[in-house]
Amino acid sequence: MNEFNAGGGAGTCPVIVTNSDAFYLDPDSTLPEGPRPAIARSEYGIEFLSYPVVRQGFRDKRMQPRDEAYFKSIGASELILEFIREGNLNFMAPDKHDRIRPILVKAFTTSRVDSFRPEMRRIAGELIDQFIGEGHADLVAQFCHEYPISVIAQFVGLPREDVPEISQATMHLRMLGQKPFAPGMPVLEKALRYLHDHVEALVAERRAQPPRDDFLGALITLRDGGEDLTDKELIWGVAFMMLGGHDTTRYTLSGSLMSILETGMWEALAADPAPIPDVIADSMRLHPGTPRQMRVVHEPLEVAGHALVPGDVVSLNMSAAGRDPAVFDESASLRCPRSDPAYDIGFGFGRYACIGQTLARTEMAEAIAMLTSRLADVELTGEPLLKPTGVVAGFDSIPVRFRARNR
Ligand code: HEM
């Protein structure tokens, strides 16, 4: 294990490798012997590893997510920069972020999410109908992949028949994180152009009709009622919802399903679905769909005795934080509910915390309730496939056999 100088020079810390199944599944098994370090160095930059340090990192205004200047520096085209500037809440300039975020939050009311539950159940039921007769399925490819994009697209108010194309476009938006960046740009641009033009046409269509009470309808009403939001920001903001709500939920949901299979809770949850929200909450700690969030240091700061300087790249490592043995009792075990403390950074924390979290928790709970109520005797038939690294990651394949439950 090497050691490195963590930035400005206040001490050394270990060099670790996070790009492995072993790190995703059990970070401590890959860390140096002895007490777990609070920070380390990896292929991503400076890794924050302990729960309190990661949690504080989310709140620290001296570090910020990557921004337009970063994407310019890697050669992003004007269309991509426009998306970053106008709609990508995570990467846009802080003053603009703080103006737009509350407007989007207003359209995400809990009652709007709750009233969408029957639709979530319908979407989940239709996906299960497609494979239940087979007696086997890949729960990720045949369920977790399609379900969240169908939910988010229809929750926002995009036409149901457009979901396959929207899904393909959001998959291509993954290219935003590709290295090197240039080869993926044409595909990324095509996906952005599609989403922009699609939402733009829909907004025009909606304005010609009586207002509708869905997310898009609410945003248009807010914008036309005088909220400080341009049409460009509205259109790109809706496009960003598709990105924010797809892969994140796909991987988090597959992580929860893995936790349920690992702990043998499937039948208990079929009999009593009440603990499902607690299962999801603690599973996000063990199998996070967003195992890290990236930050760039803008002002000097000291973390756990290490000096960080402007330009340092920080990875707020949620995989490691979630299993911090100094904070979570029996940190490798699922507890429902867990309150020692509860894990509260699965959707980020502070200024950039996820605005879709109520929708995500609700849709995942409805999906698990539907799956457990319809499939019985569910067993893994092979090794689940893991995508262990990246900002969004987790189980890519969960092959199972089952029987259809008598209802
Ligand atoms: C289980 C699923 C989800 C997970 C694990 C998740 C995770 C996160 C995390 C960790 C952040 C903070 C990013 C940072 O600090 O840099 C975030 C932000 C965000 N998420 Fe989610 N998310 C999920 C689902 C959704 C859904 C369904 C939507 C929208 C429909 C959504 C929209 C957003 C948006 C717009 C932001 C940016 C907020 C801001 O910068 O102010 N997410 N999400």
CA distance 165 to 396: 21
Q: What's the pTM?
A: 0.96
Banded model confidence at residue 217, pLDDT cuts 50, 70, 90: very high
Among candidates 54, 122, 22, which has minimal Cα distance to 314?
Answer: 54
Ligand 1 centroid–CA 354 distance in Å is 4
- The SS3 of residue 296 is strand
Q: How many percent of the chain have pLDDT more than 90? A: 92
Quote the DSSP letter at residue 143. I
Q: Which of 108, 243, 248 to mutate to test the pocket of ligand 1 (most atoms within 8 A of CB)?
A: 248
Average the pLDDT over 89-97 and give the result.
95
pLDDT value of residue 310 = 96
d(CA 68, CA 262): 42
**CB within 6 Å of ligand 1 — which residues?**
58, 65, 89-90, 101, 152, 240-241, 244-245, 248-249, 252, 289-290, 293, 346-348, 352-356, 359-360
What is the rounded distance in angstroms from the CA atom of residue 19 to the CA atom of residue 332?
Answer: 20
Q: Which domain holds residue 379?
A: 3-404
pLDDT band at 407 (very low <50, low <70, confident <90, very high): confident
Q: How many whole angstroms separate alpha carbon 293 and alpha carbon 164? A: 28
- State how far the Cα of 45 lies from the Cα of 47, in Å rounded to an integer: 6
Closest CA to 315 of 288, 297, 328, 341: 297
Ligand 1 pocket: which of 354, 363, 364, 366 to mutate (most atoms within 8 A of CB): 354
Tell me the pLDDT tens digit for each residue of 327-374: 999 999 999 999 888 899 999 999 999 999 999 999 999 999 999 999
**Total domains in the fold of the chain:** 1
What is the reported pLDDT for 374?
98
291 CA → ligand 1 middle, Å: 12
Length of the chain, in residues: 407
CATH number, residue 358: 1.10.630.10
